[in-house]
Amino acid sequence: MHYLSISGFPVIEPEEADPDTLQQYAEIQQEVGLPYVPSWAKTLVISPAFYNIYLEMMRAMNRHLTLPQTLAPMILYCIATARNCQYCSAGNELFCRTLGVDEETLEMLARDLDNVSPRRLQAIIQFALQCAFDPQSMTAADYERVREQGITDDEMAQIIFLAALGNFNDTLADSFKIEIEPVVLEALGREIG
């Protein structure tokens, strides 16, 4: 077993896990379609109650989210990048790339949102960022700008949920000091270690 270098939390690798934890790891891999056990799972498993709560929330989101498949990771990527959460930014960037979001779009989402097209995507991301970072400032005009792009109230509620989830995930990753998986760094073409 090794421990996260800053927080000191243990990381439970599959070869060290008990049978129940191994089963949960297998379910996570199947649910998210990963060939590896994500670092967040190997870290959060130290609290079985919280781990199960988190898994159920993620499963419910995967079952019920009706937004376009690429939109959720784009929203989460933008929030993580803006919050400078290295772990969530890298994971969501890779997820976006896996779903076919090109490098130029990712760069614009992170650094030049005013030039993102189509306008509908730009409006959604701007709304999500406002929800995540300054929800108190939101006015009727902010909601209307998104509705003008054909976004339904149901979709808007999902966007608000994703904004909150982005903050939640970033807080977990940064507070636990979860390390980016080497396989993610390699896939993104970044140095390992």
DSSP labels, 86-154 = HHHHHHHHHHHHHTT--HHHHHHHHH-GGG-SSHHHHHHHHHHHHHHH-GGG--HHHHHHHHTTT--HH
Q: Of the candidates 43, 64, 85, which is a domain's last residue?
A: 64
Q: How far apart are CA 161 and CA 146, in angstroms?
A: 15
Q: What is the pLDDT of residue 189?
A: 93
The answer to whether residue 193 scores a pLDDT higher than 70 is no
Q: Please work out, in degrees rounded to the nearest 5, the angle formed at the alpha carbon of residue 119 by the alpha carbons of 116 and 121.
A: 70
Contact 24, 55 (CB under 8 A): yes
User: Do residues 59 and 121 share a domain?
Assistant: no
Does residue 4 belong to any structural domain of this protein? Answer: no
Residue 80 — very low, low, confident or very high, per pLDDT cuts 50/70/90?
very high
For residue 156, count CB atoms less than 10 angstroms from its CB and return exposed for 0-12, middle for 13-18, buried for 19 or more: middle
Summarised one tens digit per residue, pLDDT across range 136-178 is 999 999 999 999 999 999 999 999 999 999 999 999 999 999 9
Say which residues have a Cβ less than 8 Å from residue 114's Cβ, sequence separation at least 6. 122
Q: What is the pLDDT of residue 62?
A: 87
Q: Of the candidates 22, 43, 64, which is a domain's last residue?
A: 64
User: Do residues 146 and 80 share a domain?
Assistant: yes
Does residue 181 belong to any structural domain of this protein? Answer: yes
The answer to whether residue 46 scores a pLDDT higher than 90 is yes
| Structural domain span for residue 30 | 10-64
Summarised one tens digit per residue, pLDDT across range 97-117 is 999 999 999 999 999 999 999
Does residue 5 belong to any structural domain of this protein? Answer: no
pLDDT, mean over the chain: 95
User: Do residues 80 and 160 share a domain?
Assistant: yes
Amino acid at 130: Q
